[in-house]
Amino acid sequence: MERHFKILGLYIAFIAIAHLCLYIALNVLSVELGWLTYFDTQIGLFFAETVLKGAEGTPPALAAWFVEIGLLAIGILMFAGKDLVKVYVAVEGLLMVPYLLFFALIMAGGMSASHGFSPAELSIPTVVVIAGCLLPLAYAIWILRHFRPPTDLSIT
């Protein structure tokens, strides 16, 4: 079981480091590299932050920095052998909500590219979310189900 913690932790840490590097690139060269926002699994947080502020800022969302630092810590601790699978499932599950809302609003609105994202533009972010969020989340759920402690049903 510890081997699965290490594999999942390494994957989570790798994704978090990649996102932090992405955020640094977006902050330094936001005008030239704005297309990199397609590779941000926390694009839903940017959307939520934009709605709350009432004005569009520059990606990434401020909350995304804290989220990725937290996920990096979870990944490192899991790689060190800590059993944080339930914590990860809860955190990643909650983080999927803004993305799913973002995805649903774009699909429902059918916005054209001149008004922001169009449904066709969601293909890259969706693949990124699948690889960066759903696959590790599915693996974590598999770990929880597969390594569930046996239930003792004896009467004695």
Higher pLDDT: 34 or 98? It is 98
Q: Which structure tokens are listed for 57?
A: 């800022």
For residue 150, pLDDT beyond 80: no
How do residues 76-134 score in pLDDT, each as one tens digit?
Answer: 999 999 999 999 999 999 988 888 887 777 777 665 455 555 666 677 878 888 899 99
The torsion angle over the Cα atoms of residues 135, 22, 13 and 62, rounded to 10 degrees, is -100
Kindly indicate the confidence band of residue 36, based on its pLDDT and cuts at 50, 70 and 90: confident
Kindly indicate the confidence band of residue 34, based on its pLDDT and cuts at 50, 70 and 90: low
